Structure 1
Amino acid sequence: MYYRIESSLDMKIIGHSSQIEHAELPADWDTDPTFVGNIEFVKADFRPKMPRGILHKKAKLTDLLTACSPGFERRLLVSKSLKDLWELFDHEHFQFFDCDVITKNLIYEYWLMNPLVTNFEFVDFQNSTVVTRKRKLEGGTFLEEVPVTSLNEFNVFLETLDIVDRGMTFISRVSLLDDIPNDVFVLSHVDGGVGYYVSEKVKKAIEVSNITGIEFAPISLTFHEWTHEHRNSIYG
């Protein structure tokens, strides 16, 4: 069984959401190709320019921190403990860049996880649900299911879209093929943009290690089903 990593929503654990209130950014971060936020699914042969995360005054330090500021989106901001554990299961398909987190004039070393590949080849598209967000004439949006049954059909459909509509198309319910070889992997074009997935073995290793700030959502659930129907029964 596989799970998608989600940040904890328990205020007793995280203190405040988002934990990173804002970030100190380098100049011209939005156009600078060496800024980490402009590097995605490619291995950097240099150390990117990094944001410095400012912890909210009510937030607590956990091994996984929530952060919405530029540079942090679509990545995991993790402690050295979580980084080291992750690399026990995969030291090939991820880069980690050291990233300062600042609170009360103290600097803590965290790491920003940069995935190098998205593993669509693990997805069973015949049993997954792909949707695209459409605009209504009267305003607002709705989700329309896309009839794709293979990775090739999924890629062909994405190629027909402009960059905006491509970003609004995602796998809302993920089903995996049998015998996945990886214990950890990443998928882009899922709800929320990028999803990080772990096997039961990794989930147990994280729990035994008392890693904080993480919840595990079964991949069979959509984001709405997890957050509004099932999460409370597990995490309260």
Structure 2
Amino acid sequence: MKYFVMEESLDKKIVGSDFPQAYRFIKEYNEDAPNALFSLYKYKDTFPDYVPNLDGVMLAGYAKLTDFVSNGFSGSLCILSPKAKAILEQYNLCPHQFYSLGLYKKKVKYDYFLLKLVSNYSDFVDYEKTSFREYDITSGYKSDPFFVKSKEEFWERRQKIKAEKGISWGIWGDKLVMNKDFNCELDFFVISILDANTYVSERLKNAIESAGLTGWEFAPATNLIAENCH
């Protein structure tokens, strides 16, 4: 299986000149309500036992309406059109939920959806074969690649560097190798913790492009190796 990294489009001809495309609410929306969009932040690793009220997200003034709408709320939340939802539902996605979302552009409401992901495949990384780098998000510094022997050693080194150098420091996977237990049928997933990319299979990428869906672009995942997926 060949994988690609999903990237939100920055092409102004497609998405407009506001990025992200959605990051605010209409005046009538109560963002402090117990079932509002921000309430989802409490559920990083689970899903809520209620249906959130998402009828009030506003498209930025210079943003264009696309099938996949970039947002400033969370990397684990995707705003998408009914057409995009219909395509994604045909494929094997990481744990997820779709919620109805009202997207407003100049007081016109569009019926969209919010896709919430709970995706952590860090247990399916072969830590002995994977290379890592220390990095500092403030300066952009990256160390030379290094190796660890286990997930436990990765966590110990990660905690140590944060304690010694500060919270802006961390460890990212450099060349990620998935182990034999990784599900090769997955079409859409995030590894999490050691890697922030959203990965898409070639077959899902092709389906998105064939359907003419707008808002996402794809680059080959040259950093990801799934040895058992052929």
* TM-score, normalising length: structure 2: 0.74
**Structure holding more helix per residue:** 1
Write the distance in 1 (CA, Å) between the matches of 2:13 and 2:24.
23
Aligned residues: 213
Counterpart in 1 of 2:31? Answer: 26
Q: Deviations over 1:26-65 (max 9, x none)?
A: 2178xx9971233223122212354832212221111111
Instruction: Kindly report the root-mean-square deviation, in angstroms, between the aligned alpha carbons of the 2 structures.
Output: 3.4
Residues 122, 23 of structure 1: alpha-carbon distance in 2 compared, 3 angstrom cutoff: same
Unpaired runs of 5+ residues, structure 2, are: 225-230
Q: Which residue of 2 aligns with 1:227?
A: none
Change (3 A) 1:55 1:212: same
* In the alignment, structure 1 residue 185 sits paired with structure 2 residue 189: yes
Does residue 12 in structure 1 map to residue 17 in structure 2?
no
How far the C-alpha of 1:73 sits from its partner, in A, is 3.7
1:120 is aligned to 122
Is contact 1:172-1:190 (8 Å) kept?
Answer: no
Q: 1:134 to 1:110 in 2, by over 3 A?
A: same
**Once the two structures are aligned, what percentage of the paired residues are identical?**
24
Write the distance in 2 (CA, Å) between the matches of 1:159 and 1:28. Answer: 35
Contact persistence 2:17–2:62 (CA under 8 A): yes
2: CA distance, partners of 1:103 / 1:63: 14
Q: Specify the alignment match of 2:142 in structure 1.
A: 143
Taking a change above 3 Å as real, the CA distance of residues 119 and 56 of structure 1, as seen in their structure-2 partners, is same
Match of 1:225 in 2: none
TM-score with structure 1 length normalisation? 0.73
Q: d(CA) in 2 for partners of 1:215 and 1:37?
A: 26
**Partner letter of residue 92 of structure 2?**
D
Residue 98 of structure 2 corresponds to which residue in structure 1? 96
Q: Distance in 1 between matches of 2:93 and 2:75?
A: 22
The answer on whether the counterparts of 1:42 and 1:117 sit within 8 Å (CA) in structure 2 is no
The amino acid of 1:42's aligned partner reads T
Deviation at 1:12, TM superposition (A): 0.7
- Say if 1:86 and 1:202 are closer, same or farther in 2 by CA, change over 3 A: same
Given that 2:24 and 2:60 are in contact with CA atoms closer than 8 Å, whether structure 1 keeps it comes out as: no
